[in-house]
Structure formats: C-alpha cells, structure tokens
Structure 1
Amino acid sequence: MTFTNLPPLFGEALAERGYADATSVQAAVLASEAIGRDLIVSAQTGSGKTVAFGLSMANELQDTFGIPAEGPLALVIAPTRELALQVGRELEWLYAKVGARIATCVGGMDPSKERRSLRGGPHIVVGTPGRLRDHLERGALDLKSLRVAVLDEADEMLDMGFRDDLEEILDATPTERRTLLFSATMPKPIVALAKRYQRDALRISTAGDSRGHGDIAFQAVTVSPAEIEAAVVNLLRFHEAETAMLFCATRDNVRRLHSTLQERGFAVVALSGEHSQSERNQALQALRDKRARVCVATDVAARGIDLPSLSLVIHVEIPRDAETLQHRSGRTGRAGKKGTAVIMVPYPRRKRVEAMLRGAKIDAEWMNAPTPEAIRAQDRERLIAAMLEPVEFDDEDRALATLLMAQRSPEDIAAALARAHRAAMPQPEDLVENTPQARQAAQQERHRPGFEDTVWFSMDIGRRQNADARWILPLLCRRGHITRNEVGAIRIGGNETHFQIPRTIADKFAAAVVRTAQDESGEETVHIEASEGPRETARENRSGPPRTMAPGGRKHGPPGAGGRVAGKGGKPGGQPGGQHRKGRKP
C-alpha cells in the first residue's frame, strides 16, 4: 500500500527514512473516509502507529508551519517517558521539512526547561499525563488553540491510573478539536472514554481477529518450578538474540534475576520502578549501543520501549492476563521483523497458561527448555557461519596468521579459536528431564545421606525481609552450634523460612538456639523454633521439585523464591551487617 492524501514535503521525509509502502494502520488513517474525523484505532504495538497519527493530523496543522504557534495545535499523550520521547523523535524527523516545532514534557526531566520550550511556540506537544497536567495547572500549558489530541496506548494509560489526568487535560481543550484514540485493546473504560470525548468517531481495526502478533512465534516452555532460572539461562544461550527482554512481576524479582545473570556472565541491564530516569536512560543506551544484550524488566518499566534489535521476549513469570501477554510480547516482532516470545510454564500451572492462550487466540508451540547438547550444537553452527562469512583482511591480520601457522598447525589454531569462543560464553545448565520418572528421581537425589530422618525448624523472616540462604546458613551454624553439613533443605517463604536438621542432633540444636536468643547487647535476635514444616510441602511434592535453597547457597526456584540479592556482602539488601527488622539482629 502506498502513501496517499499527504501534504507536500511529507513524502520526501518518508522516502529519506526508507518508508516505501504504508502499513495497514497508516493506510487506514489516510483513507478518504478518515480525513478530518475522530478515530478509534485498534492496532498492535510496532505497527507504525506514530507515523500514522503524525500523518493523520498534518492536514489540521499545515497552514501554521514555519511560524511560532500562539499555543499548541496538536497534543500527543503517551503513558511512559520512554514512549513519549520516542514519539517526539519520530515526529521531529517527520515534520522537519515543514518547519514544525515539537516540545516534549515528561516526568524526570527539568520542568523549567520544558516551560521555556512551551513559551517558544511549539506546534506539537508530546508528553506524559502527569507532567502535562502539572504544566496545565501551573499555567505553562495553554490548550485553547488545540486542533488535534492524540491518546497513544490509551488502554495502558488507564491501566496505570491516569484516567483523572486524561480527563482534566481533555476538559481543558476546545470541544471542536479532533481526537485520535490509539489502543491495542478496547476494554470498557476505553469505550467510555471515547464516548465522552469523541464525536462520530470512525472505528479502525488492523489487529485482525487474533490478538497474537503475526510476526511473533510463541513458545511455551514447561519447566520444573525449581529450575526456571536455569531454563532462562539455557534459552538465552540457545537463541543468542541480538537483544532479549525478560519480564518479571516485581522489582525484587527483577533485581534477583538481574544479579543472577550478571554472575553467569551475561551483559544484562535492569529496568524497574526503583531506577531513576538517569539509570533508565543509561540502561536503554547500553542496549542500543550493544554493550548489553539482555534487559530484565517489569511490565510498567518496559512500556513504551522501542528496541529495533529486540528479537526475543521471555515471560519469566506468567503474565496476569491475555492483554499483559500481548503487550509484553509486542516488544518484539515490530515493523515486519520476526520475533520470538517464550512463556516459562511451571508444571503445575500448565492448564492456566493453556486457557490464557486459548482466550488470546494464540497458537503456541509447547516444548522443553533447550538442553546443553542442543545449545552446543547451536554454538557450533553459529561459529562455523561466523568464520565462513566473507571478510577483508589487512596486512597486520595476515602477518599474525603467518606467525601463528609457523608455530602451530591449522587444526590447532582453529581448535584454539573454537575453545576461546566457548570460554567467552556462559555455560548452559543441566536440567531435569521433563518426564515423571526423571522428576521423581531428581526429587529423591535431593536427600543427602544422613538426612533421611529430619526435623523441621522455622525462623520468622522470609523473602519480604530479603532472606537469603547465603547468610541464613552461617546464622544457623552460629546460633545452633552446628556445621554447614548439618543443615538440610532451606525453604524461604514470604515472612518465614523453614529448614531441616537431622533428628539425631535436633535436641542439641534447639537448646543452642534458646541459649543464643539474645545478643551481647540484649537485643532480640531472629526467633527460631521447631515447626511442622512449610504448609505447601505436600502440594509441592505432588507437583514437582520444591523451591528450596540447598546448603552453600545454590539457588533452586524462580525469582522471588528466595534467591540471590543484588548487592554484595551476602546480607539483606546486599549491605554487610544489615538488619532484617527494626530492633532485631540475626
């Protein structure tokens, strides 16, 4: 489809950026029946929406180009800082030849500079709801002259709680304005918003009958709950994507998985609500510069991020619903490029994922996590392909090759090169085979000699207090006067931790923890007592290997199950000597 109904000079800008044909959403908003009308557009992430609404509103603005505007003539509202900045950059090149001025207003930036930019007479203002509302209430943003309002990813803005901000902003605009509403999904709140602020809107849908993106291959990987992180490592190694994004549910889980992958040797960055705008910018720049290839993020932190090289998305934790699955997966497979979205599925939750996929009309391929053998085979193919690519060698390269061949045979040189290549890659993980017999055998192997008969004890700290086996184990040895080899499985829950002690020394251990219940200053320490074991033990034993921490701190279980913490020092929050609760010490 070609671009039609374009004002002069826009065709040149598109051609310079390599736009030869219009995408479906771009052609739809430029069709004759859409010109000048309010629009409700359902289009997938990565379908060219920014260029679509940029061209759609050009007719309303073209008589003002080249001269400063008395007030903004077009307003684009986006849910996140990254998306707003990205939209601003797209509109800058699209409108560069016609002399339109564009201002961005987003949280985390200097508001005084934004106010100066608004006073400079921009034709188009792009911003996030909160910052735009702030400028509006302070009198820096005057919307009386507005001709077009665009709500980009409107469903996300409502999900993020921006309804009041949007209503205040739209209420301050002229009633005769044109309103373009773009949303990947159309839940009831979006329909209500459109009914209130639009007039005779034309409904455009280019998403098709399926919610799944046509350029995304969906895979569902079944895995033991105890081996999710190991399976993630193997997936990253198997695909070796130019850029990969891993989704976790909480910032704590992002922190833990980020730390784990760093330790394994991956070039990885993290994005979550605990990071400042400066840290977010540095992380995104590292991904764009290829200094990092993996990003671990929460749903909210990743909204609006556009990484053209992103080809792999891994849902480390199952999305809460089909819409979240769609938005997460939509980070890849953009602008006609192919992408892969992988859902990690613990054995007990397979039925839930199957139902979600049916509801989303996504046909996913069910498979096991890649094995080390499959990863090594992929490595060999990639290395051979890389070494056989056409390349030009300079004199220095050939001189070095001659020197090497004078001392080693070609076979030895090639073998050394292959070995160096493998040494630079994180090693794959050995996983439990996905069969009932193998899972049962692995469960039995977890019981070390001497731990056939054990007693459960508990302590009143857990994941919410950043409990970690690396400092829990020395604590138990110190308090109970035992050695590391006399501590069995450690299971970390939300607010409590359970662990096993051999029955032969249980009485001695119990007496010791009573004697050491207070430290030298008289402060109460972590409370330890005998227990019946974790409540979920029976359920976990039925559904697969339990989420445990083996002695020595080796992690078993997905992010959030009580693994590594991000900092150094091996104590809560990574701070040496950190307290776990106010007034109490380990």
Structure 2
Amino acid sequence: MHFNELGLSEPIIKALTAKKYAEPTPIQQKAIPVLLEGRDLCGIAQTGTGKTAAFALPSLDYFARNPKPTPIKGCRMLVLSPTRELAAQIAQSFRDYGRFLRLSVETVFGGVPVNKQIRALSAGVDIVVATPGRLLDLIDQRAFTIKDTEIFVLDEADQMMDMGFIHPLKRIAKLLPRDRQNLFFSATMPKEIEALAGQFLNDPVKVSVAPQSTTAERVRQQLTFVNQAEKQALLHIVLKTEEIDRALIFTRTKHGADRVVRFLEGAGIQAFAIHGNKSQAQRTTALQAFRHGHCKLLVATDIAARGIDVSGVSHVINFEIPNVPEQYVHRIGRTARAGADGIAISFVADDERPYLKAIERATKVKPEIVPLPENFLEAVRNLPKPAPQRKGPSQSPAQQAKRAEGQRRYQEGQKAQRGAPDKARRGEGGHRGEGAHRGEGDGAGAKKNFRRRRGGGGGAVGTHKGAVQRTGAPRG
C-alpha cells in the first residue's frame, strides 16, 4: 500500500514525498482510514511503529479540508505528551508533514519562559503540543483555553500514568468540549489505562499492531551478571569492544546518570546526560548533539525511554535494568528502528535479578547470557577516576561567571564600607554588592539588614541595598 491510496490530500502527499515516505506502517494503515472518517480511536502500538504520523496525517488532512480562523487564546487541535522532548519532536513532525499547509504549531512545556509561550498563543494556534503541567498553568492564568478544541490526542498514555499525570489528565478532560474527535495512543493497555481511555473516548475503534509487552524482533538481547560496583568497568570494556554508532545508556536515577558520565569523562570518553534535573537548554543541547552524531553516547533516565526518535542508535545499554518490565521494552525500542538491526545489553546485579525475571515473564524472551570478559578484574583495578563533579551543574559557564562577578562586587562594597564608615552611613559606601542581590551573584550576605541600635547613635537604618536612611533624632 502507498500513502496516496489512503485518501490524504495533495499537500500532505507532497510533503511525504519530499521526506521520501512511500509506504505506511501497519499502525498507519489501520488508523488513518478510521480517523479520516472522524471516528475516535484507541491505538495500541509498540514504540517506534510510526504512531505520530498515524494521528498527524489525518488531522492535517482535516485542517486542509476544513479551514477556519484559530480561536483567540485557544487551539483547534491539542496533543498531550508526557515529556518535553517528545512534545518538541511531535511538533516538528506536524511542521514537516504540514509544510505545504498554512498552519501554526506551538509547543507548551516547562523549562522555558512562560511569557514567551503566552505571547505565541495569544492570537490562537491551529495545533498545540503540550505537557499537562504547563498547559494547566496557562489555563489557570487565563492565558489559554481548550474549550474550542476540535481534535484531542493523548499520546503515550501509559507513561502519563507512570509519571503521575492521572489527576491533571482528569482535570483536562473536564475542560475539553464534548463535541470533538479523540485519539488515544499507548504502548501497553493495562486496566488502569482502559479506565482512563473511557474518560476521553466515545465509541472508539480499537487498533492494535503488536501484542502487549513484546520486544522489537530485530533487537539482539544480551545480559551479563556483574556486581553493581563493577558495572562501570564493564561499561568501559563494552564501549571499547563493540562497534558502536550511537548508544543510549540507561540508569534508574538522575544521580546515577551523572555519575556514569563523570566516569566516562575521566576515561576521556565524551558523553552527555539527559534527565529531569537538567535545564531545558541542557536537555535540548544533549539530544541535538546525539541526534546529529556529534556525541555517540547519551546517558539517560527513563525520560528518554520512549518517543525520542533518533536514527542510527546501534546499541541500548541498560547500566541498570528498570523495575517496570514495560519500561525495558520502551528502552530497547530506541534501537532497531526503521528496519535496522540493534543490540540491547543489560548489566544485572544480584539485587536486580527479580526485575530480570519480571521482564522475562512479560516479554517471553530470555536474553543471551554473556560472561564477564577475561581481563575484567584488571579493568576493575585500572578503572580511571571519575571527572570532578561540576559545581552548579544547572548553570552555564556564562551564568557562573556572572555569579562570580556579583560576589566580587559585593566583597568590594563591603571593603569600601569598612574603610569609609561615614560614606556608608550616607549611602555612598557601595555595600550594595552590585548584582549579588539581583540574582547575578549568590546573594551571600546581600540580603542582610544592617541596623543601628536606636538611642544615642543617630538612628541610622541600612536596607539590604546598602542605602542608609536616618530615622531622626533619638527619642529621649
């Protein structure tokens, strides 16, 4: 089957041709005709099967055939995503597929200035891709409304549940108009997800293209049993012996991801970390460097386990295996995409064996057991020390320099005050600490109030800015 056999409008076919997309995937073949009819849909598909195009293409076709002005401070289509990275990726897909349509697409998520988003949404937008938290923030500020939404998409519903978005989703459901088309996508469909789907969908068509919790067929799965403290040495050996184009390395915690990166940097191996404690700018920079091949290793928590479509990932390394079996499926689904082969390697410590058994039961696959390499003990002994932990990891070098300058100016002001007390009382001593209290330094001491005791001393009171005001003669 070809895309032009699905009945999509000519501008969309033209955009697909430009991207050299010819044949729809199974989920696209099943979902697109249903959605073109205007029906609600509940789609169950393994990650990496083309779900984004499955809901983006028929939605764009609807807009092409039904042009109308955008609602003020509102949108015609709302897509909810669990993570910022996935939201940005979905928005880009809409721009690519709708490049020959005059449609506006905006993203709404945390980590970026909210005022910029408010301005972008003020005149109305055709398509908004959002994370639940920031969306509700804008609604609460009356800067945005979803009462005019014609098409609603909930993507990666099971991850939404895992991340604790159930209550925000229920609230969003009450704010949407009754007359709308609903699209609900999830990689798995346990009973909790079915209950959630019931709150959004109206007589939906159910589409499934892969059994629940199955793993990618083209992924060769391996595991090695190793002590937790020795995993870093094993990782170094794997990186040296495997022919790696790009590798995603997964940890369970943010601290663990940063620690892996420091050990790799200590060995002269470039790697980036991506997790929830990183700023949006840092996360975007890391993902772009990985996507464009500037950095071959990306160390991530499960925030990147699904939905991040990066071609050419040859290996997924589970430095720590997940305690949720479905998450293992999503992790290894980052490789073997678009018909390519891939390798998934797991390091399993003794306390992780119960997690491994749960994964094997869910996937019905037993990975190949690979013994520790012959030179492993020597590698453990010679493991390079980790690079020192950066101070203020959430700050850029420019921000850190600005902070240091604020501290320097504050200290100069303090010295000036001590050297010229009369000027300080007149507000001329400069103990303001230029920038320290304005957030450009760390504000150490800048917020203190300097007060003179009343009675006998002129009653001078200094504010936190260093300006000294007289209160008048002392009371007798």
Question: Cα RMSD (Å) of the superposition?
Answer: 2.6
Distance in 1, matches of 2:70 and 2:373, equals 58
Conservation of the 8 A alpha-carbon contact between 2:224 and 2:372: yes
Out of 99, 105, 117, the residue aligned to residue 120 of structure 2 is 117
Code of the aligned partner of 2:144: L
Q: How does 1:451-530 map to 2 (within 5 A)?
A: none
Q: How does 1:49-60 map to 2 (within 5 A)?
A: 49-60=51-62
Conservation of the 8 A alpha-carbon contact between 2:9 and 2:61: yes
Match of 1:468 in 2: none
Distance in 1, matches of 2:187 and 2:233, equals 33
Out of 272, 275, 281, the residue aligned to residue 269 of structure 1 is 272
> Could you tell which deviates more after superposition, 243-252 or 137-146?
137-146
Out of 341, 357, 360, the residue aligned to residue 357 of structure 1 is 360
Match of 2:141 in 1: 138
Q: Deviations over 1:516-574 (max 9, x none)?
A: xxxxxxxxxxxxxxxxxxxxxxxxxxxxxxxxx98xxx769xxxxxx8574279xxxxx
Match of 1:2 in 2: 2
TM-aligned CA deviation for residue 82 of structure 1:
0.6
Distance in 2, matches of 1:184 and 1:151, equals 12
TM-aligned CA deviation for residue 239 of structure 1:
2.0
TM-aligned CA deviation for residue 277 of structure 1:
1.2
Match of 1:221 in 2: 224
TM-aligned CA deviation for residue 279 of structure 1:
1.4
Distance in 2, matches of 1:119 and 1:85, equals 20
TM-aligned CA distance change 1:158 to 1:268, over 3 Å: same
Distance in 2, matches of 1:293 and 1:66, equals 45
TM-aligned CA deviation for residue 146 of structure 1:
1.1
Conservation of the 8 A alpha-carbon contact between 1:42 and 1:185: yes
TM-aligned CA deviation for residue 186 of structure 1:
0.9
TM-aligned CA deviation for residue 98 of structure 1:
1.8
> Could you tell which deviates more after superposition, 48-57 or 75-84?
48-57
Match of 2:37 in 1: 35
Distance in 1, matches of 2:390 and 2:115, equals 38
Distance in 1, matches of 2:240 and 2:278, equals 27
Distance in 1, matches of 2:373 and 2:11, equals 51
TM-aligned CA distance change 1:141 to 1:325, over 3 Å: same
The total of aligned residue pairs comes to 388
Q: How does 1:322-401 map to 2 (within 5 A)?
A: 322-346=325-349, 349-350=352-353, 353-369=356-372
TM-score, normalised via structure 2 length: 0.76
Partner of 2:232: helix, strand, or coil?
A: helix
Code of the aligned partner of 1:311: S
Distance in 1, matches of 2:213 and 2:78, equals 31
Distance in 1, matches of 2:111 and 2:287, equals 15
Distance in 1, matches of 2:390 and 2:107, equals 39
Match of 1:431 in 2: 376
Conservation of the 8 A alpha-carbon contact between 2:188 and 2:213: no
Q: Deviations over 1:466-489 (max 9, x none)?
A: xxxxxxxxxxxxxxxxxxxxxxxx
Partner of 1:241: helix, strand, or coil?
A: coil
Conservation of the 8 A alpha-carbon contact between 2:27 and 2:51: yes
Conservation of the 8 A alpha-carbon contact between 2:305 and 2:327: no
TM-aligned CA deviation for residue 210 of structure 1:
5.8
Distance in 1, matches of 2:212 and 2:78, equals 31
TM-aligned CA deviation for residue 317 of structure 1:
1.0
Distance in 2, matches of 1:176 and 1:228, equals 54
Match of 1:408 in 2: none
Distance in 1, matches of 2:300 and 2:388, equals 14
TM-aligned CA distance change 1:568 to 1:54, over 3 Å: closer
Distance in 2, matches of 1:287 and 1:24, equals 28
Distance in 2, matches of 1:62 and 1:133, equals 29
TM-aligned CA deviation for residue 258 of structure 1:
0.9
Conservation of the 8 A alpha-carbon contact between 1:268 and 1:292: yes
TM-aligned CA distance change 1:331 to 1:566, over 3 Å: farther
Distance in 1, matches of 2:352 and 2:178, equals 49
TM-aligned CA deviation for residue 77 of structure 1:
0.5
Distance in 2, matches of 1:34 and 1:191, equals 23
Conservation of the 8 A alpha-carbon contact between 2:173 and 2:199: no
Q: How does 1:529-544 map to 2 (within 5 A)?
A: none
What residue ranges of structure 2 are gaps of 5+ in the alignment?
Answer: 392-476
Conservation of the 8 A alpha-carbon contact between 1:45 and 1:334: no
Conservation of the 8 A alpha-carbon contact between 1:23 and 1:47: yes
Out of 217, 223, 245, the residue aligned to residue 248 of structure 2 is 245
TM-aligned CA deviation for residue 368 of structure 1:
2.2
Match of 2:389 in 1: 567
TM-aligned CA deviation for residue 61 of structure 1:
2.4
TM-aligned CA deviation for residue 92 of structure 1:
0.5
TM-score, normalised via structure 1 length: 0.62
TM-aligned CA distance change 1:103 to 1:216, over 3 Å: same
TM-aligned CA deviation for residue 293 of structure 1:
0.9
Match of 2:396 in 1: none
Distance in 2, matches of 1:33 and 1:14, equals 18
TM-aligned CA distance change 1:360 to 1:180, over 3 Å: same
Are residue 197 (structure 1) and residue 200 (structure 2) matched? yes
What residue ranges of structure 1 are gaps of 5+ in the alignment?
Answer: 372-429, 434-441, 443-548, 557-562, 570-586
